[in-house]
Amino acid sequence: MNTPSLNDDLDQTTTPLTSSSPTENDLQNLVQYGLTDAVRDRFAAICAKDSELEPGRVARVDGITTFVHSMSTDYRAVSTFARIAHDDEFEIEPAQPTVGDWVLVRPGQDQDPDELELVLSRTSLLVRKRVMRGKEEGDEQVLAANITTVFIVQAATYFNSNRLEREVALVWGSGAVPVVILSKIDLLEDVDPAEIVEQAQISAPEVDVFAASGITGEGTDPLRQFTEAGSTVVLIGASGVGKSTLVNQLMGDEVMDTGDIRESDARGRHTTVTRQLLPLPNGGILIDTPGIRTIGLVSGSEDALAKTFSEVEQYFGQCKFRDCGHVGEPGCAIAEAIADGRLLESRFESYKRMGRELEHDRTKGVAGAKTDHQRRMRVIAKGHRLKASIEKRKGSS
Ligand SMILES: Nc1nc2c(ncn2[C@@H]2O[C@H](COP(=O)(O)OP(=O)(O)O)[C@@H](O)[C@H]2O)c(=O)[nH]1
Ligand SMILES: [Mg+2]
Ligand SMILES: [Zn+2]
């Protein structure tokens, strides 16, 4: 085995003549930030072509300043010109890096800033629509990328089923797997946690639901199955539900400020860099997000809705009339299912409400169609079409 050199030497990044593409050993350093084999291979391929680039993972974003954990050093890189890198093509439009992104940084020469140049295409992306006050259309807020599991945290003492349905849909839409945690069970007085779990399960069928206390640690052991090496877990939920307390419990250490210590107190200091991507004792990575007050679904979340309400959608196509609107038509399978207790009316109502919101966004068109995500997808599609037509021309000549 090679002896890995400890490159704390900052000069190392500014001497491109001696730099070479990272060895397996160098990349091994990124395992502590959740590196998977697939990501390692992509980094190795890109760095073999351009040895100046330094692979790493985004720990925090502050405007165009991105904090990146790299193999032997951390970067504070500027992301103005960052683009998404697919296997062998780069997107034209700038990318908006987010915590959890796998990226390549080009270290700046002399006085130049370090530049975040490429963002590897994501395996999952958690995006919510920000609800703006006094403005009809909120923009999108990208919360985290390349996550395997999202812990949706709600206080067992303040369980809210509508919010949970939205949170679950948001997560299914991201490509990650939702897990529900009902926190603060030590505060439940005459209620059995199992009862709340049962309630939550109705709003989140097909999702694992746990009850736990971040203070006493009760119920937190089963959560560790989601935090093994190679996994990246994000915690979402309203402010004050106990996310940071759970993080500390899972870390076995006081790493996150809890309670009313303001997040902004620690801003801009180096210590905050290491506080967003938290390596867990059993190998996974934890990301704590600031509280999210409202959960807006981004346009194009229809599939996520279908997954969230699969027990509703299973009746579609079974009504007497093919164009049944499920509003009292004879032979409506939904109405029958509700009547004989196979389907909860409240679930169907939630489904309709969320579906209407998406429909509203879609028909309103303009703003919705210009979401970052859709723009990105269009650019990719265009790239693919172009490539296909070039190959076709080549083939026919
Ligand atoms: N009794 C009890 N209090 C908790 C628990 N988890 C968090 N808290 C308290 O709730 C407040 C908010 O917790 P925090 O972890 O900062 O919530 P966050 O905003 O979701 O990160 C703090 O005062 C915590 O001490 C719990 O499991 N039991
Ligand atoms: Mg917190
Ligand atoms: Zn019907």
User: Mind listing the pLDDT tens digit for each residue in 117-137?
Assistant: 999 999 999 988 876 665 555
CA 175-178-182 angle, 5° bins: 160
- Rounded to the nearest integer, the mean pLDDT of the chain is 83
Q: Which residues line ligand 1 (CB under 6 A)?
A: 183-184, 186-187, 213-215, 237, 239-245, 258-259, 291
Q: What backbone torsions phi and psi does residue 93 show, to the nearest 5 degrees?
A: -80, 150
Of 274, 294, 303, 297, the C-alpha closest to 286 is 274
Range 178-198 average pLDDT: 96
E strands within 147-280?
Answer: 149-155, 177-183, 208-211, 232-236, 277-279
CB atoms within 10 A of CB 332: 20
pLDDT of residue 357: 86
Instruction: Give the DSSP H or E segment for 372.
Output: helix 372-396
Q: Is the pLDDT of residue 392 over 80?
A: no
Whose tokens are 């049944």? That residue is 324
For atom 5 of ligand 1, which residue has the closest CA?
Answer: 184
pLDDT of residue 192: 94
pLDDT class of 297 with cuts at 50, 70, 90: confident
CB-based contacts of 257: which residues, under 8 Å, 6+ apart?
244, 263, 265, 266
**Contact by Cβ (8 Å): 212, 218:** yes
Whose tokens are 């506080």? That residue is 275
Spacing, Cα 358 to ligand 3 middle (Å): 20
pLDDT class of 29 with cuts at 50, 70, 90: confident
Q: Is the pLDDT of residue 96 over 70?
A: yes
Q: Is the pLDDT of residue 151 over 70?
A: yes
Q: Is the pLDDT of residue 311 over 70?
A: yes
Q: 3-state DSSP call for residue 7?
A: coil
Q: What ligand 1 atom has the least distance to the C-alpha of 291?
A: 19
> Does residue 272 or residue 390 have the better pLDDT?
390
Burial 45-61, CB ≥16 within 10 A → b, else e: ebbeeeebbbbbbbbbb
Q: What backbone torsions phi and psi does residue 202 show, to the nearest 5 degrees?
A: -65, -40
**Contact by Cβ (8 Å): 277, 32:** no
> Tens of pLDDT along 157-183?
999 999 999 999 999 999 999 999 999
pLDDT of residue 130: 76
Q: Which two tokens stand for residue 11?
A: 């000069």
Spacing, Cα 213 to ligand 2 middle (Å): 15
pLDDT class of 90 with cuts at 50, 70, 90: confident
CB atoms within 10 A of CB 289: 16
pLDDT of residue 319: 95
Q: What ligand 1 atom has the least distance to the C-alpha of 241?
A: 20
- Which ligand gives the minimal distance to the CA of 260? 1
Domains of the chain, start order: 10-120 (2.40.50), 125-288 (3.40.50.300), 309-364 (1.10.40.50)
Q: Is the pLDDT of residue 11 over 80?
A: no
pLDDT of residue 134: 53
Spacing, Cα 238 to ligand 2 middle (Å): 9
Spacing, Cα 323 to ligand 3 middle (Å): 8
CA 307-175-241 angle, 5° bins: 85
Cα separation, 124 vs 325, whole angstroms: 34
pLDDT of residue 373: 53
Q: What backbone torsions phi and psi does residue 49 show, to the nearest 5 degrees?
A: -85, -30
pLDDT of residue 20: 66
> Does residue 382 or residue 202 have the better pLDDT?
202
pLDDT of residue 13: 46
Angle in degrees, 0-180, between the axes of helices 161-174 and 193-203, rounded to the nearest 10: 60
Q: Which two tokens stand for residue 185?
A: 């069970």
Q: What ligand 1 atom has the least distance to the C-alpha of 153?
A: 20
Q: Which two tokens stand for residue 340?
A: 């004989």
Spacing, Cα 182 to ligand 2 middle (Å): 16
Q: What ligand 1 atom has the least distance to the C-alpha of 184?
A: 27
